[in-house]
Amino acid sequence: MTVPHLIVINGLPGSGKTTLFRRLVQGLQIPGFARDGIYETLFDAMDCAESGSPLMLGHGAFGMMYYSAGQLLSVGQPVILEAFFGRPELRSAEFRQLQTRYPFEPIQLLCKADGNVLVERFLGRMTSEGRHLGHQDQAWIEENRRRLLQGKLEPLSIGGTLIEVDTTASKQKVYDELIVQILSLLNVRKPEGNK
């Protein structure tokens, strides 16, 4: 069995990770897991809006994401993971532990954007109607505004291929070119029916 690829989409909040994740899952036809999607599902399933959010809910969401990825990797399937891996040392160690159990070839996509754009996007998201109530956005922005203004994170120390994706003014062409680049790394042709 060949070693499967693990595509990791990382970046600060508002850097376009989720948009990129959705496009890649569809464009590459590879299953994927987003940490916030898992977090929100657990938040709702545990009725956290009424009973309060457990302190370790965020850590549990990361654990579920790694577990789910491991199940696919264990049978040789590639997988895409998307999250704000804001603690690079810890998250790199978690990926290395996953890689010890389920060997994979990493492709890391590091989303970045102008810091002022990130702050604007984050503030806009805070007031958007569709924003899940489980996120503590106000507290986060108060503590992390300077971090957002930096525009990007340090990459994870997981080896493999690192591709920086500037999403300040992303266009469809950027996504299309990225899909072609990743397909060449995966050594596969573009799935039929995708343009």
19's CB contacts (< 8 A; 6+ apart) are: 167, 170
What whole-number distance in Å separates Cα of residue 12 and Cα of residue 3?
29
Of 63, 128, 131, the C-alpha closest to 97 is 63
- For CA atoms 181, 177, 124, 131, the dihedral sign is negative
52-89 pLDDT per residue, tens: 777 788 889 999 999 999 999 999 999 999 999 989 99
What whole-number distance in Å separates Cα of residue 131 and Cα of residue 26?
23
Q: Which CATH class is domain 5-185?
A: alpha beta
What whole-number distance in Å separates Cα of residue 100 and Cα of residue 161?
18
Concatenated DSSP letters for 87-141? -HHHHHHHHHHHHHHS--EEEEEEEE--HHHHHHHHHHHHT-TT--TT--HHHHH
Kindly report the average pLDDT of the chain as a whole number.
Answer: 88
How does pLDDT run along the chain (195 residues), one tens digit per residue? 689 999 999 999 989 999 999 999 999 999 999 999 998 889 888 887 777 777 788 889 999 999 999 999 999 999 999 999 989 999 999 999 999 999 999 999 999 999 999 988 888 887 777 766 666 767 777 887 888 888 889 999 999 999 999 988 877 788 889 999 999 999 864 555 544
106's CB contacts (< 8 A; 6+ apart) are: 5, 6, 7, 8, 95, 99, 158, 159, 160, 161
Residue 195: per-residue pLDDT = 46
